[in-house]
Each structure stands twice: as C-alpha cells, then as structure tokens.
Amino acid sequence: MSIKDEFLRLLREDEEFRLLVMAYLGISDVQSALGRLVDAVGGLVRSQSVVMDVLSKILENIEKLWENQNKLWEEVKALRESQNKLWEENNKIWQEVKALRENQERLWQEVKALRENQDKTWKEIEKLWQELKTFREEQEKRWQENEKRWEETYKRFEAIETELRNLREDFNKSIMAVNRRLDALGARWGLISEEAFREGMRGVVERILGVAKVEKWSYNDVNGEVYGHPAMIDVDIVVKDGSHILVEVKSSVSRDDVAEFWRIGRLYERVNGVKPRLVIVSPYVDDRAMELARELGIEIYTEVT
C-alpha cells in the first residue's frame, strides 16, 4: 500500500488524525495569508515611499508655483502701475486732443473767414481786371492816335532836319569862305603877334598886380634846365613889398606852357635864392592847363578886359 492510500485511509478511519490534519491545514492557510499580507504590506510600504517621493516633488513644485505666483503678482502690480501711468498719459492725450479740436475749430473759422475775404478779393480783382481791360483798350486807341501823330511829327522832323542840314552846309560854306578871306588878309597884313599881345596886356598886368611897372628878368640857362638845352630865358617880373612875382602873358595857354613856366620859376629860385609867386595872364587857358596850374600852385587870370 502506498503512502497516499495510507493517508487517505487514516483520514477515513481515524477521527483524531483527521482533526489534526484539518488543524494543520488551517494553520497553513493562515501562514499563507500572513505571508501574502506581509507581501502586501511591503508593497504598500514601497508604494508609500513612492508616494512620499511624489508628494515631495509635488511640494517642491507647489513651492515653485508659489514663487512664480509671487513674481506674477509683482508683475501684475507693475502692470497696474504702468496701466495707471498709461491712463494718466491717455487722459493728458485726450486733453491735448480736446485742445487740438478746439484749435482746429477756431482754425476752420479763420479759414472760413479767409475764404470769404478771398471771395471778396477775387471779386475786386475781377472788377479791377475789367477796369484794366477797359483802360488797355482806351490806351490802345490812344497809342494808335499817338502813333499817327508821331508819324506826322517824325515826317515834320525829317523835313526840319533836312532843312537844318542844308542850312548847316550853307553855314559851313560861308564860314570856310570867311576863313579863306581872313587867311588872305592875314597873309597880306599879318595877324597880331604874341609880342604885340604882351605889350598890349602890360597895362592889364600892372592893374591886376597893383604896380606901376613890370620889369624883365633875363638869364642864360647854360644847363638847359627849362628847355633841355642851353637857351636865353626872358620873363616878366614884378617885385612888390619884398615879394617876387614872375608873370607870363600869352594869348592862349596849353599844359606844356604851364610846365615850362613852372620850370622857369624853379630856375629863378635856384639863381636868386627866392621862391617867386607865379602868375599867368591869358584870355584862353585849356582845361588840362588849368588843372596842372592848380596842382603846381600857379595863379591864372583870364579876365583881361
């Protein structure tokens, strides 16, 4: 008989054995259940450890969230302050916009007034243009009339000019004839010489200078100070109250005559040691001679009558 068969027989026949087996089987189940329970508790412990790790991470995340929330509140606070400033700026802008609108309204009123004035001005200008147009038409008529008159006057002037040209030619011919006759008379009897003129003017000189007699100063200019070569110098002289006056009397005086007389005065000063007063008497002195005489301090008398 096998052990299995013996074990089964004992269970059937032996009640005590059967109870022992039943008790044994109950303890084994309890031990098995306890083992499973221990395993479950170990799993729970391990799960709790994982949960604790998770909770720790969650707490860390919650702390970070609080920090971020605080930063967010700070940013919200800053945004509110910026928003308040923006509202203030916005209010200022609206005030400026309001002022701009008021100024714009005044500007439009002024523009409206300017347009009205401009319309009046254009009307006045239009009237002025009409008057100017009328004036131009009248002026044009007058110019046409004046043009006709100018044409008639020009024709008259041409006739007068032709007549004057003919008269001038006749006059020139007459003058030329007179000159030819004078030349013929001069060639026959001779004209008044310079020496004769000087003699005739001697009384005039004495009256101008207030003296009774005009003397003659003669000097042989061997060094050619006056003419650039040796020559005999003759000049009228008056000594009055210690003043030496050299007098040159000529029918006409040129610039060269003035320069020559001035050189004679320098020669007289060198020879006699006295600076003379220089006087020229002549009915005709050209402009260049008169200018040079003023520059050299020479007195000119042209009233010889």
Per-residue model confidence as pLDDT tens for the chain (305 residues): 688 788 778 878 888 888 888 877 776 665 677 677 778 777 777 877 887 888 888 888 888 888 888 888 888 888 888 888 888 887 888 888 888 888 888 888 887 888 888 888 778 878 887 887 887 888 888 878 878 887 887 788 688 778 777 766 765 555 454 444 444 334 333 444 555 555 555 555 666 666 646 789 999 999 999 999 999 999 998 888 888 999 898 888 999 999 999 999 999 999 999 999 999 988 889 999 999 999 999 999 886 55
Residue type, 174: S
Q: Which domains does the chain have, with CATH numbers?
A: 194-301 (3.40.1350.10)
**Would you say how long the chain is, in residues?**
305
The per-residue b/e assignment along 149-163, b for 16 or more CB within 10 angstroms, e otherwise, is eeeeeeeeeeeeeee
Amino acid at 186: G
Q: What is the pLDDT of residue 149?
A: 82
Q: Do 281 and 247 meet the contact criterion of CB atoms below 8 Å apart?
A: yes
Return the closest-CA partner of residue 248 out of 205, 191, 196, 304.
205
Q: What's the token pair of residue 41?
A: 């508790």
276 contacts 269 by C-beta, under 8 angstroms: yes
Whether the CB-CB separation of 205 and 236 falls below 8 Å is answered with yes
Decide if 248 contacts 236 (C-beta within 8 A): yes
End-to-end CA distance of the chain: 209
Residues 301 and 279: beta-carbon distance below 8 Å = yes
Query: Closest Cα to residue 246, out of 231, 262, 259?
Result: 262
**Please, what's the largest Cα pairwise distance for the chain?**
221
Would you state the pLDDT for residue 69?
Answer: 86
Model confidence, pTM: 0.38
- For residue 278, with 0-12 CB atoms within 10 Å meaning exposed, 13-18 middle and 19 or more buried, which class applies? buried
Show Cβ contacts of residue 285 under 8 Å, excluding neighbours closer than 6 positions: 252, 253, 293, 300, 302
Contact 206, 213 (CB under 8 A): yes
Alpha-carbon gap, residue 61 to 255, rounded angstroms:
126
